[in-house]
A and B are shown apart, each in its own frame.
Chain A
Amino acid sequence: MAIAALVTWLITAVLGFTMLGIWIAKGALRAADSTATVPTRLAPPLVFGHFLLAATGLILWIVYVITDTEVLVWIAFALLVVIAILGDVMFLRWWRSRRDPTPEARLPVAVVYGHGLLAVTTIILVLLVGLGVGGE
């Protein structure tokens, strides 16, 4: 179960990193300037906060898989809840900005949904590990 969560977490991270790369390559940082003609709706602190927390959580999960330190499961779960809230806010902002030529409007829809679905799966798997479901 812990390994399954690690796998879904890793794939989610790769998809997220891909979106971050596309978003920046399409001029997100220029668009984040107050003077930009087409502003981005995804504020950089939101995006980078989500990125940093998710990466921290993933590292903690790897440490958990290696060391089997029980408390890390709940720290990871708490982090995931915060990460998911930030992710939801980003999803809603992305949804509304798709009609405008914003950098985030260029993100492939399949990647956005794939990232979200795998993220939800990861959270459920981590919760199940915490509750002791599925055993070793």
Chain B
Amino acid sequence: MEGMRRAKRPVSIMAGPYGHPFHPILVTVPIGAWVASLVFDVASRLVEDERSLVVGSRWLIAIGVLGAAAAAMMGFLDLFGIPIGTLAFRTGLLHMGLNLTVTVAYLVNFLLRRSEASVPVGLVVLSAVSLAVLAVSGYLGGKLAFRYGVRVADEDAQADGYRITASGKE
């Protein structure tokens, strides 16, 4: 399985060293920002003075879009390492397609929001739907890492973590 071994290695150090891919850490930015944005949207409909939440939510969407762009670049590099024509590559393409769709949806969502006017229900629904699609895509990303082992160190490297250490022998 030469192809499987190649998918475990970074195509370049820019995608993170072996066993330390950058993509999974960068995705925490858009996920966190967009989840918080939806919380702000819902909260803005419950409190009396909603202005700071409305502005904050729009900022969070922007932060998420920029974070998603950075994560996407690292994701592309990891996708390039997966041999074309495999189930893992197809899963990666679907994962990419869904994420790019969600990112474009949030960019549109951002552009449709006026800074301080309260958020229309339609855009809150768009955020919720976007997050749901992101969850499906995240599931596929998890499958790529934990099921197919893309960018996960091989078992020889993993075994290093299970040797009894000197202090453990005492």
- Taking Cβ atoms with an 8 Å cutoff, the residues of A that contact B are 20, 24-25, 29-30, 44-45, 47-49, 51-52, 55-56, 59, 63, 66
Contacts and interface: CB of A to CB of B under 8 A. Distances in A.
Interface string B1-32: 00000100001111100000000000000000
- SS of B interface (majority): helix
B13 A29 contact: no
Nearest to A44: B12
B73 A66 contact: no
Interface of B: 6, 11-15, 66, 69, 73, 76-77, 80-81, 84, 111
A45 B80 contact: no
B84 to A, nearest CB: 6
Contacts, number: 35
16 contacts: A20-B80, A25-B84, A29-B81, A30-B6, A44-B11, A45-B12, A45-B13, A45-B14, A48-B11, A48-B14, A48-B15, A48-B77, A49-B12, A49-B14, A52-B14, A56-B73
A63 B111 CA distance: 12
Please list the 9 inter-chain residue pairs (A to B) with the smallest Cβ-Cβ separation, ordered nearest first.
A48-B12, A44-B12, A59-B69, A55-B73, A45-B12, A24-B80, A48-B14, A52-B73, A25-B84
A29 B8 CA distance: 13
Given A25-B84, A29-B11, A44-B12, 7 more contacts: A29-B6, A29-B80, A45-B12, A45-B14, A49-B12, A55-B73, A59-B69
